[in-house]
Structures are given as C-alpha cells and as structure tokens.
Amino acid sequence: MEPQNLAAVSGFLLLDGVPPDDPELQPLLFGLFLSIYLVTVLGNLLIILAVSSNYHLHAPMYFFLSNLSLADIGFSTTTIPKMLENIQTHGKSITYAGCLTQMSFFFLFGCLDNLLLAVMAYDRFVAICHPLNYPVIMNPCLCGLLVLVSFFSSLLESQIHCLMVSQLTFCTNVEIHHFFCDAPQLLHLACSDTSINTMLMYFIGAIFGGVPLSGILCSYTRIVSSILRVPSTGGKYKAFSTCGSHLLVVCLFYRTGLGVYLSSSISPSPGKGAVASVMLNPFIYSLRNRDIKRALWGMISRTA
C-alpha cells in the first residue's frame, strides 16, 4: 500500500467501537453505556457540589477528591459519547482532527487521574505520619499548587503524544482495532519506522506513570510503618480506615489502567469494561467515606 501523510488521511475506522450487527444487542449496549456515562457525570457532579457546599468537607482530602471527580468527567466524556454515537448510527468512522483530539484528551485526563491519586497518597502520608503539622504542611496554597502542577504535567504529556503521532506517515489502512484513538494503535498503522516513537512512548509512560506510582508506594510504605508502631488496636484500625478507600481506588485504577494500556499495545481487541470501571473511582471512594455519604444524603434530603 502506498504511504500517505497523516494530514492527507480524512479519518479512521474504530473497528472495536461498535458491537456486532445484532439489532437486539445494540440497543441493550447503548442503554448500558449511556447509563454508565450518565451515572458517572451526574454522580461526580454531586460529589463536587457536596464538597463545595459543605463546610466540613473543606479539607485537602476532599479538595483533591473533587478534582479527581472533575478529571473523571473529562475522562469519560473523551471516549464514551463517540462510542454511543457509533452504536446509534451504526457507524465506525472518526475524523482525523477528532482522532487526535480524542487521543490528546484521553492522555490528559488519564495522566491527571494518576497524578491526583499520587497527591492524595501524599496527603494521607502527611495526615497519618505528621498529624500535628498537617494543617501547616497541607495549606491551601500547597494544595492548589499540587493540582496545578498535576494539570500542566498531564497537559505536557498529552501534547507530547499528540505531536509524536502527528509526525507519523500512514498507509491507506486506517482501521483502528479499538473503541477510541490510542497512540499504540496508531503506531501500528504507521508505514514509517516507529521504533524511536515506540521507545519514546514507553519512556514517557515510565516517567508520567512510574514516578506517581513510586510516590504512592513510598507514601504507603511510610504509612504502614507508622501505623504498625501505634500501640492500640483501635488506633491502628482508625488509621487504616482513613486511607483504605484511597488504597482501594489506587488498586482499581492501576489494575484496569494497565489492562487497557497493555491490551491496547498487544491485543487487537481490548475490553471496554476496564475504562468504565476506572470512571467509577470517585464513587468507590465516596461510598466508603462516611463524611461524603453524610453530605450527599444531607444535600438530597434538603432538596427533597
């Protein structure tokens, strides 16, 4: 096949974006993913509203949680609406500009999720290991700075991936075996030598994914070491309960995130369920947190 530059390609085909041509299965899947998307958006908006409207939740932990909810809204909006459109219209196409935009926002919000989880781990480390200095260390200026650094770092990673893909030369084959535009899948379609691009992609992934993960592991190593020195069983349980929900979200995020990332690079047909489960991270955190549940029920009861 004759190679052509990416700018000349009018669009791509998302072969895994539409279920099999079964008239009974398509409405079911459309309703399922539409429900997940609406629950994700509305639920995260409720979390943001509860944190912002309740004075007792004006704490660093809940400030980071509200930003995590905002990032998850963006993360789900990047992929799910296009998939719903393709299911409803029985189409598979996505434009060139739409593909690059979707890939850029996917990396932006995915990396932002990752960095915010690392920031929340640091917050738990300070709260448990340095409780007396917690209000001084985790002051509003530092919290805002951590969120801004996380956002601009995520923006940098997404733009590097977008620039890297935009320089590729493609053949007439524009079939992406995924339900959204992903960098590893686009590298597979390139006609030019992508060895340097592949090495750069994994290097960037190791930095923007490995450094936050190392920070999380380091924080929880110190947290566990500090908790084990607590003499009373009740004190240990209270300390573990303050970070148990965050640790559960971290495990779910990395398990499903690595599953999507590795399957995108190796398997031609990765599952959609992993991305859907990542979108529910703030819900898992909130359902295990009594303060958030109390604020949500209070807000719902006042509305009723």
Q: Give the pLDDT confidence of 199-233 residue by residue, as tens digits.
A: 888 888 888 888 998 999 999 899 888 888 877 77
Query: Given strand 11-14, what is the order of strands in its sheet?
Result: 93-95, 11-14, 175-176
Confidence at residue 123, expressed as pLDDT on a 0 to 100 scale: 92
Report yes or no: 4 and 14 within 8 Å, Cβ to Cβ: no
- From CA 77, how far away is CA 68, in angstroms rounded? 14
Helices (H) and strands (E) in the chain, counts: 12, 5
Beta partners for residue 91, in sequence order: none
**Longest CA span, the chain:** 71
Residue in this structure with the two tokens 């686009």, named with its chain if needed: 186
* Domains of the chain, first to last: 4-303 (1.20.1070.10)
The model's pTM is 0.83
| Three-state secondary structure call for residue 172 | coil
Residues of the chain with pLDDT under 70: 1-10, 16-24, 173, 235, 256-291, 293, 296, 299-300, 303-304
| Three-state secondary structure call for residue 128 | helix
Other beta carbons within 10 angstroms of residue 38's beta carbon come to 12
Other beta carbons within 10 angstroms of residue 52's beta carbon come to 12
- Residue in 249, 159, 257 with CA at minimum distance from that of residue 204: 159
47-54 contacts, C-beta under 8 A, 24 or more apart: 47/282, 47/286, 47/292, 47/296, 49/299, 50/292, 50/295, 50/296, 50/299, 51/292, 51/295, 53/295, 53/299, 54/295, 54/298, 54/299
- Residue in 289, 298, 303, 276 with CA at minimum distance from that of residue 34: 276
